[in-house]
Amino acid sequence: MVTTSTAVTTKKSTVAAAFEINNPPKKQKPLSNIVSHSFLPSINKLEESWNAVKDSTISHANTQLQFAVEVQNAVILAKSYDKPYSNEPHMDQLKNSLGSLTQDSSESVLSRWLKIAQVAAQLEHYCKKLPPYRDTMYEIAKAVNKGVDTNLLFADNGGINVDTSHRKAKEIIRLAIPKKASSKPSKPKSEPKSRITLIFDNDNKALLAKIDALVKEFKDKVEVNDSKNLLNI
């Protein structure tokens, strides 16, 4: 039994080795061979800024805002260097470096920092109240971009402060976002209709003539049911 199992394993290993020989992995050109050396100081500056984020104990939120702005500046520079290329080697280098520095490999890591950078100047006034968490700052930045009043978000009573949890901050933001007014036009209120029911015989010509005159006078407010010989006003 053991001999058979070993033979099978050896056979599989041989097949796998043969496959690797016939199908070697494709080699990608290292980004370091494409990226301009004059762009690398921008990456070094990001590293210095991120170290400041990690080591700061006085104003953690403020250093994160500064880091967000540095990311934004690096993006602008990377796009200018990438103009001659059909791909984006400098942006790729920036994304790789950002993910490595922040230990965040998600696709949204760059967009989140850029969203914070967009309102960094506004949030800087509330550094003493800003929770020192990237994702919470991102949620706040989204709200500010939607036009939410920062004074309402960071109100002394019930607003966001440095100790506010991420979940609580999202709840405060949800309540602070102004509700959209209904786009549907309101229907005009119709005037109340009075209802008078007259019962008559078809042979009464005089009464029929009076009813006909009433119908002409109040044609917009009259509903006639001929089958039951009823007049509804």
Q: What is the pTM of this model?
A: 0.59
Q: What is the number of other CB atoms lying within 10 angstroms of the CB of residue 191?
A: 8
Give yes or no: residues 211 and 113 share one domain.
no
Distance CA(71)–CA(51), nearest Å, equals 14
How many domains does the structure of the chain reveal?
2
| 229: helix, strand or coil | coil
The tokens of 145 are what?
């971009």
User: Would you list the DSSP string of 39-68?
Assistant: GHHHHHHHHHHHHHHHH-SS-HHHHHHHHH
Give yes or no: residues 46 and 124 share one domain.
yes
The pLDDT tens digits along the chain (233 residues) read 444 444 444 444 554 555 455 555 555 556 667 888 888 888 889 988 888 776 664 468 888 999 999 999 999 999 999 999 989 999 999 999 999 999 998 989 999 999 999 999 999 999 888 988 899 999 999 999 999 999 999 999 999 998 899 999 999 999 998 877 555 666 666 666 556 565 555 556 676 677 777 767 666 554 555 544 444 44
Q: For residue 129, what are the domain limits?
A: 38-176
Give yes or no: residues 209 and 99 share one domain.
no
Cβ atoms of 110 and 138 within 8 Å: the answer is: no
Residue owning tokens 């509804």: 232
Give yes or no: residues 60 and 167 share one domain.
yes
